[in-house]
Amino acid sequence: MVAMTQLRVGERAKIVDLSRVSDLVKRRLLDMGVTEGSEICLKCTMPLGGPFMIENCGQCVGIRRHEAMNIQVKPL
């Protein structure tokens, strides 16, 4: 299990733990279909500490870097 920020661009992973993410962010992710057990692909990272862009079920979602550090994933 690693933090989402440790993935490389193009790498696929399964979300295994969202317990360290705030309830508001967890709710927003749930609304977009990003839940524990979801398979994601890291599409890109923005420079200078910017957000991460992930793909989940064909939908791209931007996640702030400090929130991505709290999302635990298992690389596939």
pLDDT tens, position by position, 21-60: 999 999 999 999 999 999 999 999 999 989 999 999 999 9
pLDDT for 39 equals: 96
Which structural domain, as residue segments, surrounds residue 58?
Answer: 2-75
Sheet (strand 59-63) strand order: 2-3, 72-75, 12-17, 39-45, 52-56, 59-63
In degrees, to the nearest 5, what angle opens at C-alpha 62 toward C-alphas 2 and 15? 30
CATH of the domain at 44: 2.30.30.90
pTM above 0.75, yes or no: yes
Q: What's the structural domain count of the chain? A: 1
pLDDT for 49 equals: 87
List of long-range contacts for 18-21, beta carbons under 8 Å, 24+ apart: 18/71, 18/72, 20/70, 20/71, 20/72, 21/67, 21/70, 21/71
